[in-house]
Amino acid sequence: MTDHAANLRATLRTDLKSAMLGRKPDEVAALRALIAAIDNAQAVTGEPDGRYVSNRFADGAAEVARKLMSKADLQALLDGEIAARRTAADQYRSAGHPDRADHLSHEAAIIARYIG
Q: What is the DSSP string of 53-105?
A: EE-TT-SS-EEEPPPP--HHHHHHHHHHHHHHHHHHHHHHHHTT-HHHHHHHH
Q: Is the distance from CB of 93 to CB of 101 less than 8 angstroms?
A: yes
Q: Is the distance from CB of 9 to CB of 78 less than 8 angstroms?
A: no
Q: Is the distance from CB of 107 to CB of 92 less than 8 angstroms?
A: no
Could you tell me whether strands 62-64 and 52-54 are parallel, antiparallel, or unpaired per DSSP bridges? antiparallel
pLDDT at 19 (0 to 100): 97
Rounded average pLDDT per 10-residue block, the chain, 116 residues: 83 97 96 95 69 59 74 95 98 97 96 91
CATH assignment of 4-112? Answer: 1.10.1510
**pTM of the entire predicted model:** 0.80
30 three-class SS: helix
Q: Where are the domains of the chain?
A: 4-112
